[in-house]
Amino acid sequence: MRKAILTILTAASALTAQAYDYPYLAFQTSDGTTTTVSVESLKLTISDGQLVATNGDGSTTFTLTELSQMYFTAEATDAIKEVDSKTLDDAEISIYDLQGRLVPASQLKRGIYVVKTSTGTRKISVK
Tell me: the pLDDT tens digits for 39-62? 989 999 999 989 999 988 888 899
Is 53 inside a domain boundary? yes
* Residues of the domain holding 87: 80-127
- Measured CA to CA, the distance from residue 39 to residue 58 in angstroms comes to 12
Q: Is the pLDDT of residue 105 over 60?
A: yes
Phi, psi of 16 (to 5 degrees): -65, -40
Verify that 28 and 73 share a domain, yes or no. yes
Q: Is the pLDDT of residue 85 over 90?
A: no
Q: How sure is the predictor about 90, in pLDDT bands with cuts at 50, 70 and 90? A: very low
Is 12 inside a domain boundary? no
Q: How sure is the predictor about 17, in pLDDT bands with cuts at 50, 70 and 90? A: very low
Tell if the pTM clears 0.95, that is, is over it. Answer: no
86 in Cβ contact with 104 (< 8 Å):
no
Verify that 39 and 58 share a domain, yes or no. yes
